[in-house]
Amino acid sequence: MGKTLLDKVWEEHTVRTLPDGRTQLLIGTHLIHEVTSPQAFGMVRDLGLKVLYPNRTFATVDHIVPTDQRAEPFSDPLADAMVKELRKNCAESGVTFFDLPSGNQGIVHIVGPEQGITQPGTTIACGDSHTSTHGAFGAIAFGIGTSQVRDVLATQTMAIGKPKVRRINVDGKLAPGVYSKDVILHIIRHLGVNGGIGYAYEFAGSTFDAFTQEERMTVCNMSIEGGARVGYVNPDETTFEYLRGRPYSPKGAEWDAAVARWKAVASDKDAVYDDIVNFKAEAILPTITWGITPGQAIFIDEAIPNPDDLPEKDRATAHEAIEHMKLTAGTPAIGIKIDVAFLGSCTNGRLSDLQEVAKHIRGRKVASHVKAIVVPGSQGVASVAEKMGLAEIFREAGFEWRGAGCSMCLGMNPDKLVGDQLCASSSNRNFKGRQGSPTGRTMLMSPIMVAAAALTGEVSDARKVFAIH
Amino acid sequence: MALEKITQVSGCGVFVPGDDIDTDRIIPARFMKCVTFDGLGEFAFADAKLAEKAAGRLHALDDSRFNGATILISGSNFGCGSSREHAPQALYRYGFRAIIAESFAEIFFGNSTTLGIPCVKMSKNDIADLAALIEKNPSIQVTIDLTESKVTTDDVDFAAEFSLPGHAREPLMNGRWDSIADLVDGLEDVKTRVATIPYLSC
């Protein structure tokens, strides 16, 4: 009987079975940031323990760093204290820190891959739910809480039950103007925001085979929005090519040995799955969310649904969503006025996202009533984008070009919605208050759809705005 | 590390209705700018409370009838979204010692168990019945019995089964819910395992 990638990685990283039946699982790579780590370092100290393998933990700052005024001290003393705390903890414990002055700082889920730290067949944990992003490389990557950050710092392991595996096949060719973001929003719309509880999602099929590494990251990133703590794609030549030559990628003879291991870790052809779900790429259209969960999604040519027309289990949340979003059931999505456009985040803040948008907006202007910001996912992305002239294209179009960080994805830094502003956002969560204003409203969509909304000032079909066919 | 053996949780309950209550709602991100978890309790559901007030309604946690409740009751997929442990930390510091819901998001469930907060799943109908009893008499004592897998009240009319996976039940009942001690016990095995894995041993 064949094994899945998850089976193989789990087996290799199992230290032992704990008395409660969970696995003591070795975490090969630990990523930390300023928000969920300070308490963990404190707990490690309080227990009289120390960081066991400091060379297997990597740190950066992303959540609270301002994206405009980046000189320290930050105007927010709490944010400033958190960065200093991480700096101190890393220095004391010997953890590598991709700090602000390093030129390598950025969103932790963008920094790991671009440094070549994220590798196939590894286990990765980070105190952030979007750690599932790293699964795009065929890693098993978990978002964890602070007590588990402590566990990984002190023991390089954590206690966890083995998930089931659901294979999600997407086959076929996406239509022009349809992107990986639409694919994952479509999957969550159909499998639900809690459909993945207890599962790891294995994304496969010809659509995924054709995806670039960055497109795969966008999908794996949002696994958690579908309830799946882990999402992964089997590693292939696309993965290996992405990793070749990166700072932490194996070199020389070690590279060849690593590639051989990485090929072997992919799911066997006859692997057995707990569940299999199939989607057709051709059936997916540009997708946006209209509500307060990532599963409340519609195609761009649909109208805001009437909650009473939805399945009974979805109605209460739909009513709550209509109230919060101040929308009227039956209104076409196209034409809903927006106030803010946010292009960035660990979902869509990579170079290819910025390139795709820049290609289409050249010579166009952001609508006068819209505040539009572009936040590169890392200093590395920013630096390349600037050299390529992308920053200039965005600025000329009326976007603000910012420094790297989580920015307006989560309202922990100065980039926040104000009042009930409606934001067309390339991020991952449309929860009430997520973007920093309790009454703020978020519509999730692909970067190109964010750009279309920014230019027209309203939710628009990017295929029409940019004549993509 | 001697931890309390949690076999039963009793206290007053409060029903916070809704499905997919995410951890941003439980503790908005701006309150996470802290280097300790102390003081998070007062900010639990901070924005949800304000929103209810603005709409001319009263959030259950602002309703004085439910002051002192130690058991939180809610809908499905409770605790979805961000992995922030600040969410169960805020609930614990607010005073909650157990949560009853239709279902729980996985990371939240694990974070809560590690803090010794049992998260038990009960059917929608039983939750509605329990919520109605509490609404009628907020001082009713709710008891979650981990041995019997039952939720009862001191009102004889109510008894309902709940589910709690063994990997959470056993450690809660045996006082091993914080896994650090077990993990540290395995440190020699960790080192042996590390030596067998190429990307870690080279």
Per-residue pLDDT of chain A (469 residues; tens, 9 = 90+): 899 999 999 999 999 999 999 999 999 999 999 999 999 999 999 999 999 999 999 999 999 999 999 999 999 999 999 999 999 999 999 999 999 999 999 999 999 999 999 999 999 999 999 999 999 999 999 999 999 999 999 999 999 999 999 999 999 999 999 999 999 999 999 999 999 999 999 999 999 999 999 999 999 999 999 999 999 999 999 999 999 999 999 999 999 999 999 999 999 999 999 999 999 999 999 999 999 999 999 999 999 999 999 999 999 999 999 999 999 999 999 999 999 999 999 999 999 999 999 999 999 999 999 999 999 999 999 999 999 999 999 999 999 999 999 999 999 999 999 999 999 999 999 999 999 999 999 999 999 999 999 999 999 999 999 999 9
Dist CA A308 CA A192 (whole Å):
18
Chain segment A143-194, per-residue pLDDT in tens: 999 999 999 999 999 999 999 999 999 999 999 999 999 999 999 999 999 9
CA angle B166, B168, B173 (to 5 degrees): 90
Dist CA A108 CA A218 (whole Å):
14
Is B188 within the bounds of a domain? Answer: no
Q: Are A441 and A288 contacting, i.e. CB atoms less than 8 angstroms apart? A: no
Is B191 within the bounds of a domain? Answer: no
Q: Residue B107: closest CA among chain A residues belongs to which residue?
A: A144
CB atoms A432 and B47 under 8 Å: yes
**Cα torsion angle, A129, A304, A343, A86, sign:** negative
Q: Least CB-CB distance to A159: which of B24, B28, B179?
A: B179
3 state SS of A304: coil
Q: Which residues of B touch A154 (CB under 8 A)?
A: 180, 183-184
pLDDT at B34 (0 to 100)? 85
Q: What is the mean pLDDT of residues B148-164?
A: 93
Quote the tokens at residue A52.
């066991």
Q: How far is B7 from chain A (nearest CA, A)?
A: 15
Is B119 within the bounds of a domain? Answer: yes
Dist CA B9 CA B92 (whole Å):
13
Chain segment A401-436, per-residue pLDDT in tens: 999 999 999 999 999 999 999 999 999 999 999 999
pLDDT at B157 (0 to 100)? 83
Where residue B1 falls among pLDDT bands split at 50, 70, 90?
A: low
CB atoms A42 and B36 under 8 Å: yes
Prediction ipTM score: 0.97
**Cα torsion angle, A107, A109, A110, A113, sign:** positive
Going from the C-alpha of A108 to that of each of A346, A374, B104, the distances in angstroms are 8, 18, 26
Rg from Cα positions in chain B: 19
3 state SS of A142: strand
* Residue A389 CB contacts under 8 Å (≥ 6 apart), including other chains: none
Is B202 within the bounds of a domain? Answer: no
Is B190 within the bounds of a domain? Answer: no
Assess whether pLDDT exceeds 90 at residue B201. Answer: no
Q: Which residues of B touch A433 (CB under 8 A)?
A: 24-25, 28, 47
Q: Are A216 and A208 contacting, i.e. CB atoms less than 8 angstroms apart? A: yes
Q: Which residues of A touch B29 (CB under 8 A)?
A: 63, 410-412, 434, 436
Query: Domain limits at B118?
Result: 8-177
Where residue B202 falls among pLDDT bands split at 50, 70, 90?
A: low
Kindly give the residue spans of alpha helices, DSSP state H, lying in B6-45.
23-26
Q: How far is A410 from chain B (nearest CA, A)?
A: 7
CB atoms A52 and B114 under 8 Å: no
- The total number of structural domains in chain B stands at 1
Higher pLDDT, B157 or A173: A173
Is B196 within the bounds of a domain? Answer: no
Is B146 within the bounds of a domain? Answer: yes
Question: What CATH number does the domain containing B118 carry?
Answer: 3.20.19.10
Report residue A399 CA to chain centroid gap: 22
Cβ count within 10 A of residue A468? 16
Is B193 within the bounds of a domain? Answer: no
Dist CA A59 CA A31 (whole Å):
6
Q: How far is B42 from chain A (nearest CA, A)?
A: 17
The torsion angles phi and psi of B194, rounded to 5 degrees, stand at -55, -40
Mutate to test the interface with B, among A9, A11, A18 (most CBs of B within 10 A): A18
Q: Are A287 and A445 contacting, i.e. CB atoms less than 8 angstroms apart? A: yes
Assess whether pLDDT exceeds 80 at residue B155. Answer: no
Domains and CATH numbers, chain A: 5-275 (3.30.499.10), 287-465 (3.30.499.10)
Q: Is the peptide bond preceding residue A332 cis, with omega within 30 degrees of 0? A: no
Q: How far is B133 from chain A (nearest CA, A)?
A: 21
